Structure 1
Amino acid sequence: MTKNNLRLLLALLLTAPAGAAELTLPTLGAIRAKAYGVDGAAPRFLPAAYRTENGPAWEDPYLRQIAPKPPPNLDQAQVSALIQRMVDMERAQTGKVTLSKENVQALVVRLVQMDTHFVDQIDSKKWDGILKGAGDAMEAEYKASKGNWNKVIETGITASVKGLKDPHSVYFNEAQLKAFMDSMKGTFVGIGAGIAEDPKGIKLETIYPGSGAETAGIKSGDVVTHINGAPIAGMKTEDIIKQLRGDENTVVTVTVERGGVAQKPIKITRKAVKMPTAFSKMAASGVGYVYWNQFGDGSDAAVIDHVRRLKSQGAKSVILDVRGNPGGLVSSVSAIASEFMKDGQEIVSFRRQGQVVFKHVAQGNGQFADMPVAVLTDDGSASASEILAATMQDQRKGYAVIGSRSYGKGTQQSILPGADAGGLKVTESRWHRPNGGNIDAQHDPATGEKVKGTGGVMPDIDVQVPEDQARKIAQQTANELMGRPVPNRVADPVLDKAIEVLTSAGKAG
């Protein structure tokens, strides 16, 4: 690749559309699928129960694609220097240049997307640091992969995103993107277990009903130490997951420790797994309870249906438990929140560099707008969970939020396609609650790590639970979600306080 060809390519890339149309949030007229019946019955589609109102910073995504703005801060000289560094490095080591225009395009598109989409401006000085770090990482990967440019470019993109020092922006390669999208759908093909990191390999915390793991006799708490005879201690979690997943009806052999004792190798047949995501019950006379573990595809329909059924069973008030819920789709939380609100009430607004991009507003009176509600939170309640808690706190009277300070993620991300097969999940805006506040935690400018004790939704009633007790509560909730018995049930003071408050509210009303 000559310098003239490189300059021409970069000039074209820095003014061309940065990939296909991005994933965007729904606008007025968006639809929400609600499936009724069983065995694949055709779903009915209902209008979303909220509307989107665009603000001064909103840009039409179609126009943004066909007539994109040039990157505001990243300039051709900076990108050219990085690419030329790679060319010179390879020529010095091998005497030739195999870096292709497709490789260059994959990298440059991602850099342009970062510059044009990131919530905060990336000034020229910061870009210098990001590109130097990316170049260092790429040179190391070139040597480690023996000149595999696909891996080198992926490493460069990953290092560039890390240079933003934003904990929620990340680059997914093709396999990681598929795993992420599967997690949002609540389906995947694998052994069927919820996992946690463990020094010896990986711990199987939850075994899903009807899964291959359950059929093979795997127990909650088992620690996988070997897969197909090979030890996995020290491996990255994503690499372990890749080995446990695979095509349906294929077999994987695992060795587990149970109670510290190694067991004989166990063959597990991989199956399509549909993870349970929500359950409900009557927590007390007149008080319903709904728990769900993410705001994914179909979560809004499931939660609304659970509340509707609880109401038919005599519930006069409802507890919405989002403890440990990391969030998910904005469309899902807005649809849920809207059912507890009056027409025209604001749910949430999104701002970029201080200007409103758009906001979600309840459209029509929600079917539960007059139903007393309590939202349970803890430090694992993040993102969409915090939107729900903050909205109920601002728009509903009474003790709306009970528990402890939530995580403090007040930003919104989009996943952008590009010239490669992966996806760039980048922070595009900050969300603001109806009272105008933003709950995003402070972050260390050097590392991007969250500063403990900052941000989050503060509960109306603070109920602190010892860590060990909170872990046991979470496990028994997971057992209920899976439809399993809950032996030796531990007290749940947060739930008890919500029942007390809502019962008193019912008597007062």
Structure 2
Amino acid sequence: MGKKRFLIIFGFFLTAVVSAGITYGAVKYNEISNISNDPFGKLRSTYQTIKTDYYKDAKTEDLVDGAIRGMLGALEDPYSTYMDTKEAKGFQENISSSFEGIGAEVQESDGAIMIVSPIKGSPAEAAGLKPKDKILKVDNTSVEGMSVNEAIMLIRGEKGSKVKLLVERSGVGELNFTITRDTIPIETVHFEKMDDGIGKIQITKFSESTDKELAKAVSELTKQNVKGFVIDLRQNPGGLLEQAVYMSDLFIAKGKNILQVENKDGSKEVYKAENEDKIDLPVVVVVDEGTASAAEIMAAALHQSAGIPIIGDKTFGKGTIQTTKAFKDGSSVKYTIAKWLTPDGHWIHEKGIKPQYAVSLPEYAKLPYLDPEKTLKEEDSSAEVKVAQQMLQALGYNNVKANGIFDPATKQEVEKFQKENGIAVNGQIGGETTIKMIESLQKKLIENDTQLEEAVNVLKKQLAS
């Protein structure tokens, strides 16, 4: 009898014995008890079957947690999830106090764990993680199929400890990161008086005290007689909706819309500005692909209801609102309750906000991270070598060709870089050399922040008019 024929006959035989309720091999087929019209009948019956017939003891707590995760997963909404006690505590810390980790906002997207935005000044930002990087593994553990909170608990850890991430970046491929965890501070607003009397205010996320921090920044800069404000919302993953409302209220005339909330039944609630004394100095807003959620609410509100121009790249595009429900054991569910719309009623979900002044950072700002623990040397050929060559080119070492081959010309330029930066000359890229290259690029980016430069130019034109 041929193999193909045997498989066909075996398939028929198995179907026959299943239909008859007969035991075959190691599989026993039994009909689960009859279920009434009660929609939870199958759930209760399955639970009872597992508790009585499963070959090992199953913890009731684990079964209940699994059922809740399954219900939320069936919604196919990356922003609705179950959080056990540990996960819920971590979530609360992220919006109310400091925590220890790498400092990156993540979400589930099409079954993958994706970076929304690294937090300003965090290890994640310093390492070079970018918005929309997809995390594949954490310390060699695949995160496929995990909830976003399960992945977060793997990524977080004690200050000073290291975590390895394997990520996939669109147009680049897979990248390895080794990141040293640190304390992520609660301070969410940073400000300074720039040249020409312009006040720069950077908001990194929207937590419980951000409105007070913003008010303080505006007050301090006003005392320094600034002529206008640049509100920097780049790499801001969002946070609390009420904070976006309070903060937008500072810049919008009383009675004008801040946002609209569309409920399940189609009804809409309109949030309007209530501040009697709005800021009357010129303002511009800077955004990028890491500007999300509450940060998008503020950007849209300031533009549509106060005529404030937006500069930068198209934003992330998160137009839903979540709330949490806590259980007595400390666990909780986070779930979507409504859409938020811009003041004029548009839904920017998965579309983002297009700036009036489209400006991107220099190409070298998008270069992947180089792992300092990995050594690149002459005769190596890899994607990492190409990245290192592109870094050297961006730093002015133009005799290098970005072809991914560590040739003698590359070695010569590496030696030149090492000599000029007081590093032991060996012609290899790794350790101190890699760290110095990254630091030099970051410094150059600060000095050549094309988005901030355009924001200042737009603000100056307003001041001159």
Normalising TM by the smaller chain, what interval? 0.5 to 0.7
Within the candidate set 56, 60, 64, 1:149 is matched to: 60
8 Å contact 1:283–1:499 — kept in the other structure?
no
Rounded to whole Å, the distance in 2 between the matches of 1:323 and 1:275 is: 17
1:395 aligns with 2:291: no
DSSP 3-state at the match of 1:78 = coil
DSSP 3-state at the match of 1:364 = coil
Rounded to whole Å, the distance in 1 between the matches of 2:314 and 2:105 is: 24
How do residues 230-249 of structure 1 correspond to structure 2 at under 5 angstroms?
A: 232-234=139-141, 237-241=151-155, 244-245=157-158
- Using the TM superposition, give the Cα deviation of residue 222 of structure 1 relative to its aligned residue in structure 2, in angstroms: 12
TM-score scaled by length of structure 1: 0.56
DSSP 3-state at the match of 1:304 = helix
1:344 aligns with 2:255: yes
Rounded to whole Å, the distance in 2 between the matches of 1:271 and 1:496 is: 31
1:416 aligned partner, one-letter code: K
8 Å contact 2:50–2:58 — kept in the other structure?
no
1:373 aligns with 2:280: no
1:285 aligns with 2:196: yes
Rounded to whole Å, the distance in 1 between the matches of 2:183 and 2:197 is: 38
- Using the TM superposition, give the Cα deviation of residue 378 of structure 1 relative to its aligned residue in structure 2, in angstroms: 1.2
1:80 aligns with 2:78: no
8 Å contact 1:208–1:275 — kept in the other structure?
no
Deviations 1:301-327 (A, max 9, x none): 111211221222122211111111111
1:505 aligned partner, one-letter code: Q
Within the candidate set 412, 425, 430, 2:321 is matched to: 412
Matched residue, 1:431? 340
Matched residue, 2:83? 172
8 Å contact 1:378–1:405 — kept in the other structure?
yes
Matched residue, 1:462? 358
Q: CA distance change for structure 1 residues 330 and 436 in 2, over 3 Å: closer, same or farther?
A: same
Rounded to whole Å, the distance in 2 between the matches of 1:361 and 1:373 is: 20
Q: CA distance change for structure 1 residues 167 and 93 in 2, over 3 Å: closer, same or farther?
A: closer
Q: How many residues align?
A: 324
Rounded to whole Å, the distance in 2 between the matches of 1:411 and 1:196 is: 16
1:335 aligned partner, one-letter code: Y
8 Å contact 1:289–1:318 — kept in the other structure?
yes
Residue ranges of structure 2 left out of the alignment (5+ in a row) = 1-35, 107-117, 130-137, 144-150, 166-177, 369-440
2:284 aligned partner, one-letter code: A
1:328 aligned partner, one-letter code: G
Give the percent of matched residue pairs that are identical in Structure 1 and Structure 2: 23
2:204 aligned partner, one-letter code: N
2:276 aligned partner, one-letter code: N
- Using the TM superposition, give the Cα deviation of residue 466 of structure 1 relative to its aligned residue in structure 2, in angstroms: 4.9
Deviations 1:315-344 (A, max 9, x none): 221111111111111111111100101111
How do residues 58-97 of structure 1 correspond to structure 2 at under 5 angstroms?
A: 77-94=38-55
Q: CA distance change for structure 1 residues 206 and 465 in 2, over 3 Å: closer, same or farther?
A: closer
Matched residue, 1:334? 245
8 Å contact 1:349–1:359 — kept in the other structure?
yes
Rounded to whole Å, the distance in 1 between the matches of 2:253 and 2:367 is: 36
8 Å contact 2:119–2:236 — kept in the other structure?
no
Higher mean displacement: 280-289 or 353-362:
353-362
Within the candidate set 279, 288, 296, 1:386 is matched to: 296
Q: CA distance change for structure 1 residues 88 and 255 in 2, over 3 Å: closer, same or farther?
A: closer
DSSP 3-state at the match of 1:285 = helix
- Using the TM superposition, give the Cα deviation of residue 196 of structure 1 relative to its aligned residue in structure 2, in angstroms: 9.6
- Using the TM superposition, give the Cα deviation of residue 504 of structure 1 relative to its aligned residue in structure 2, in angstroms: 1.0
- Using the TM superposition, give the Cα deviation of residue 411 of structure 1 relative to its aligned residue in structure 2, in angstroms: 0.9
DSSP 3-state at the match of 1:291 = strand
Matched residue, 2:12? none
Q: CA distance change for structure 1 residues 307 and 424 in 2, over 3 Å: closer, same or farther?
A: same
Rounded to whole Å, the distance in 2 between the matches of 1:90 and 1:353 is: 37
Rounded to whole Å, the distance in 2 between the matches of 1:84 and 1:159 is: 16
Q: CA distance change for structure 1 residues 496 and 271 in 2, over 3 Å: closer, same or farther?
A: closer
DSSP 3-state at the match of 1:326 = coil
8 Å contact 1:222–1:256 — kept in the other structure?
no
- Using the TM superposition, give the Cα deviation of residue 486 of structure 1 relative to its aligned residue in structure 2, in angstroms: 6.7
DSSP 3-state at the match of 2:82 = strand
Deviations 1:360-399 (A, max 9, x none): 211133441x2211111111111111111111111122x5
Matched residue, 2:450? 493
Q: CA distance change for structure 1 residues 428 and 378 in 2, over 3 Å: closer, same or farther?
A: same
- Using the TM superposition, give the Cα deviation of residue 185 of structure 1 relative to its aligned residue in structure 2, in angstroms: 1.3
Rounded to whole Å, the distance in 2 between the matches of 1:222 and 1:499 is: 26
DSSP 3-state at the match of 1:363 = coil
8 Å contact 2:188–2:206 — kept in the other structure?
no
Rounded to whole Å, the distance in 2 between the matches of 1:221 and 1:505 is: 37
The higher-RCO structure (CA 8 Å, 6+ apart) is 1
8 Å contact 2:301–2:342 — kept in the other structure?
yes
8 Å contact 1:174–1:421 — kept in the other structure?
yes
Rounded to whole Å, the distance in 2 between the matches of 1:222 and 1:405 is: 20
TM-score scaled by length of structure 2: 0.61
Rounded to whole Å, the distance in 2 between the matches of 1:388 and 1:340 is: 10
8 Å contact 1:389–1:400 — kept in the other structure?
no
DSSP 3-state at the match of 1:494 = helix
DSSP 3-state at the match of 1:355 = coil
How do residues 17-416 of structure 1 correspond to structure 2 at under 5 angstroms?
A: 77-94=38-55, 147-188=58-99, 190=100, 193-194=102-103, 221=127, 232-234=139-141, 237-241=151-155, 244-245=157-158, 274-353=185-264, 355-368=266-279, 370-397=280-307, 400-416=309-325
- Using the TM superposition, give the Cα deviation of residue 273 of structure 1 relative to its aligned residue in structure 2, in angstroms: 6.2
8 Å contact 1:206–1:220 — kept in the other structure?
no
RMSD: 4.0
- Using the TM superposition, give the Cα deviation of residue 241 of structure 1 relative to its aligned residue in structure 2, in angstroms: 4.4
Q: CA distance change for structure 1 residues 360 and 287 in 2, over 3 Å: closer, same or farther?
A: same
- Using the TM superposition, give the Cα deviation of residue 271 of structure 1 relative to its aligned residue in structure 2, in angstroms: 9.6
1:507 aligns with 2:464: yes
1:234 aligned partner, one-letter code: T
